[in-house]
Amino acid sequence: MPNISMKLLAKELGLSLSTVSKVFTDSHEISEQTKQKVLAMAKQLNYVPNPYASSLRKRKSKTIAVVLPEVADSFFSVAINGIESIAREKGYHVLIYLTHELFDREQAILADFQSGRVDGVLISVSNGTTNDSHINDMMQRGIPVVFFDRVCEETATTRITTNDRESGRLATQHLLENGCKRIAFLTLSESLSISRNRLDGCRQALAAHRLIFQENDLVLCTDKDADNRDIIKRLLQRKDRPDGIIASVEKLTAGVYLACRDLKMVIPKDVKVISFSNQSTAPILNPSLTTITQPAFEMGKAAAAALFNNLKRNNQQYKPETIVVPSVLVPRESTTGVHQG
């Protein structure tokens, strides 16, 4: 049995195809009476209109794409929830794509969107993204793009970020206030906007305390946990070792804890640790982990909401506005030594 089409529905009702179609677009041309009749029959036959036929004619897909580096990180997991929640509200569908931090894959994914597959794109750029021409191509084709979390700052469109610089500042200040004299900053990338901004904030805070950031305290880690553990161990074995560590991404936390364990160093006595993290296990780590927690769900929602705004006014000119959803610093034992609820 072929899926029932609108044509079939029309024949069943003794109406024309166009009349039935107009019922579904809720056209004023159709009387309330026949609308009811059609809707009733549709429900009875379990009819669902073919979205692709509609997309073809209307040149709208009612679909957005979410392009992410990966979903291993708990930030993106939660962000997806936020995105999905408002997409569903608007009756949109969500396609998901992973770049695995590869620039060429990111380009290939966006290139496919030239086809009209999606009406808009939400993107958190990959680690290796060096330019934004693929993004601009999208927008020139009339497909709005909204950045979230990992943004391209030069690109003229809406950006949703958290207050990365401010958070970096706060994290550093928090360490200093808890007695740290020398702070190391762990990062995965020097090019990513969020990393740069967090580091900038760190530098600012140090400067405010008349300290300057030593360049060898900027530690570039890899995406392999085992390597990071070694890298951090070496950091902690230096004679001028830091007494405070900022892990600028969630996945570096484990390396710090394990390195300390290996070296029999005690957090926070020997070294204090603060991490940019959304992990729900932060309170039950030992010691519990002081975190800068990003508002992942809210950022997801804000990003989707902004995209739908840009979708509505379909001019090609989007204002390069940056919406900032602030992170919160949650102090715990790893910096304060103080145990709390």
Residues making contact with its own copies (CB under 8 A): 3, 46, 48-53, 55-56, 61, 63, 70-74, 76-78, 80-81, 84-85, 88, 93-98, 111-112, 114-117, 141, 225, 251, 253-254, 257-258, 261, 279-281, 283-287
Binding to DNA by CB under 7 A, coded x per residue (else -) over 2-21, reads: xx-xxx------xxxxxx-x
One-letter amino acid for residue 331 of the chain: P
Backbone angles phi, psi at 324, to 5 degrees: -110, 120
Binding residue for DNA, selected from 53, 108, 207, 328, defined by CB under 7 A:
53
CB of 259 to its own copies, least distance (A): 10
Using CA atoms, how far apart are residues 327 and 330, in angstroms rounded to an integer?
10
- 85 vs 222, which CB is nearer to its own copies? 85
Residue 31 binds DNA (CB under 7 A): yes
Using CA atoms, how far apart are residues 180 and 271, in angstroms rounded to an integer?
8
| Collapsed DSSP state (helix, strand, coil) of residue 186 | strand
- 193 vs 275, which CB is nearer to its own copies? 275
Using CA atoms, how far apart are residues 64 and 119, in angstroms rounded to an integer?
6
Using CA atoms, how far apart are residues 262 and 277, in angstroms rounded to an integer?
22
CB of 63 to its own copies, least distance (A): 8
CB of 133 to DNA, least distance (A): 23
The one of its own copies, DNA, none whose footprint includes residue 16, by CB under 5 to 8 A per kind, is DNA
Name the CA dihedral angle for 186, 295, 180, 197, rounded to a multiple of 10 degrees. Answer: 50
Using CA atoms, how far apart are residues 122 and 79, in angstroms rounded to an integer?
11
The one of DNA, its own copies, none whose footprint includes residue 11, by CB under 5 to 8 A per kind, is none
The one of DNA, its own copies, none whose footprint includes residue 299, by CB under 5 to 8 A per kind, is none
- 206 vs 232, which CB is nearer to its own copies? 232
CB of 152 to its own copies, least distance (A): 21
CB of 275 to DNA, least distance (A): 48
Binding to DNA by CB under 7 A, coded x per residue (else -) over 219-238, reads: --------------------
Could you say which residues in the range 56-85 bind DNA, by CB under 7 A? 56-59
CB of 341 to its own copies, least distance (A): 9
Is the Cβ–Cβ distance between 123 and 148 less than 8 Å? Answer: yes
Residue whose C-alpha is closest to residue 185's, from 251, 116, 274, 109: 274
The one of DNA, its own copies, none whose footprint includes residue 258, by CB under 5 to 8 A per kind, is its own copies
What's the burial of 35, exposed, middle or buried (CB within 10 Å: 0-12/13-18/19+)?
Answer: middle
The one of DNA, its own copies, none whose footprint includes residue 28, by CB under 5 to 8 A per kind, is DNA
| Angle CA 335–338–341, to nearest 5 | 115
CB of 200 to DNA, least distance (A): 45
- For 177-277, strand residue ranges (E) read 183-187, 218-220, 244-247, 272-276
Is the Cβ–Cβ distance between 330 and 282 less than 8 Å? Answer: yes
The one of its own copies, DNA, none whose footprint includes residue 44, by CB under 5 to 8 A per kind, is none
Q: Please state, as a whole number, how many other Cβ atoms lie within 10 Å of the Cβ of residue 127.
A: 18
Is the Cβ–Cβ distance between 145 and 306 less than 8 Å? Answer: no
Q: Which stretch binds DNA (CB under 7 A): 55-63, 279-287, 291-299, 302-310?
A: 55-63
Residue ranges in contact with DNA by CB under 7 A: 2-3, 5-7, 14-19, 21-22, 24-25, 28-34, 49-50, 53-54, 56-59
